[in-house]
Amino acid sequence: MHSYRSLVEQARSLEKERGISLDFTDKNIADSWVRCFEHGLRPNANPVDTVLNQKELGQIKEQYQNIRDFIVPELELLYSQIAGSNFMVAFANNDGVVLDTIYDNQFLNSQASKVVIPGSVWLEKYRGTNGLGLSLQTNTPTIVAGGEHFFTSHGGLSCFASPIFDHNQNIVGVVDASTDTSSRQDHTLALVKLSAKSVEQKIFLDAFKHTNIYSFHPRSEYLHTNSIGLLAINEEGHIEGVNSNTRIMLSGLYKEDTKDFYNIFTTPFHNVAHEMNADKIIQVKDWLGSSVFMKLFQKQLTSAPASNLKPSPPTYRPCDDCRGSTLKEQKCLLIQKTFDQLEGKITAVSKALNISRTTVYKHIQKK
């Protein structure tokens, strides 16, 4: 068993041998080299050539068929954008198993096309540092170019990979592009990332086709791009799911237990739903003061699956005395929700919101 220090020293020695400094490229690659040494791999040896048999590959392809229905058209589009420049594109599942590949003629005639094949497994512990394996390890888009690969035999390759996430932030697969050259091409990674984002969006739209899905963005002209946040919201204004862009744009506001539209935005959902469902673009503010534009992105396509038919959380409506005044409505709804969250304890609500017990009681009685 090697100490961590000795593993780092081996990685530093490999840097010097190859005449590169990973401190100036990507620390993730240096960390990957350390893990490779820890797995007992040696840079001048051969990778562990792990390839599934046809039966195993067929079973996994069948398991991933729903996702592959979205993936394959994206791979074809990505291929059309970079083909003719000695490239291949591929999709691998979250276990690093390559399921689908498209090669251009130049890459097909290279030695690399013999190893990046359907059924091949590209986890670090088998293939050393590589784009696909590193994306799975770090949950981030990656470039591994030339000598940044752990194995010397991969030194003529450059790999560009980006993970695909579902709405629960789980990786469901990786889009990869590889070339039989050793250059770092940032524009290629940008195309791969766009492809992964496009697949994420399609998976999200399919997962929540039983309810309306709304898009939002700080700039209205971006409401049809892959940079939008997506919210799956049912008729009661309860959020059933969000995409990864939403988690970024609403950081500090959205949490897994945040299910009410009004917990994030200062306008109750029922106040704006009619306009959005009429294909109008609206502008709303979140509770941190930022404004976003929002519109209906996909109308409900199917009824809710049986597994989703659970009792709906309570719907909050402003009381008659507060209706018509935005400020009063917001205060009224906040009191009602806090009342339920604190299990009907009026004194606790009074302390939490710094209001009198009489005020709490008034809004609860008249709702």
Q: Which residues pair with residue 176 across a beta bridge?
A: 90, 161
The continuous run of DSSP H or E covering 8 comes out as: helix 4-18
Helix residue ranges, H only, 168-303: 186-207, 244-249, 269-277
- In 167-261, the DSSP E strands lie at 171-179, 212-217, 229-233, 239-242
pLDDT of 367 strictly over 70: no
**Residue 315's pLDDT is what?**
62
pLDDT of 19 strictly over 60: yes
State in words which class domain 46-206 has. alpha beta
pLDDT tier for residue 328 given thresholds of 50, 70 and 90: confident
Percent of residues, the chain, with pLDDT higher than 70? 92
Question: What are the residue ranges spanned by the domains of the chain?
Answer: 46-206, 208-308, 326-365
Could you read off the pLDDT of 47-66 as tens digits, one per residue?
999 999 999 999 999 999 99
**Residue 182's pLDDT is what?**
59
Could you read off the pLDDT of 188-230 as tens digits, one per residue?
999 999 999 999 999 999 999 999 999 999 999 999 888 999 9
Could you read off the pLDDT of 270-312 as tens digits, one per residue?
999 999 999 999 999 999 999 999 999 999 988 765 555 444 4
Phi, psi (rounded to 5 degrees) for 308: -95, -5
Percent of residues, the chain, with pLDDT higher than 90? 58
Contact between 279 and 295 under an 8 Å Cβ cutoff? The reply is yes
pLDDT of 83 strictly over 80: no
Phi, psi (rounded to 5 degrees) for 99: -110, -35
Q: Helices 186-207 and 65-82, interaxial angle, to 10°?
A: 150
Measured on CA atoms in the order 68, 69, 71, 77, is the torsion positive or negative? positive
**CA 191, 59, 46 angle in degrees (round to 5)?**
65
**Residue 231's pLDDT is what?**
97
Q: Helices 326-341 and 357-365, interaxial angle, to 10°?
A: 100
Cα 155 off chain centre by: 30
Spell out the residues 6+ positions from residue 80 whose beta carbon is closer than 8 angstroms to its own.
Answer: none
Q: Which residues pair with residue 178 across a beta bridge?
A: 88, 159
Q: Does residue 367 or residue 103 have the better pLDDT?
A: 103
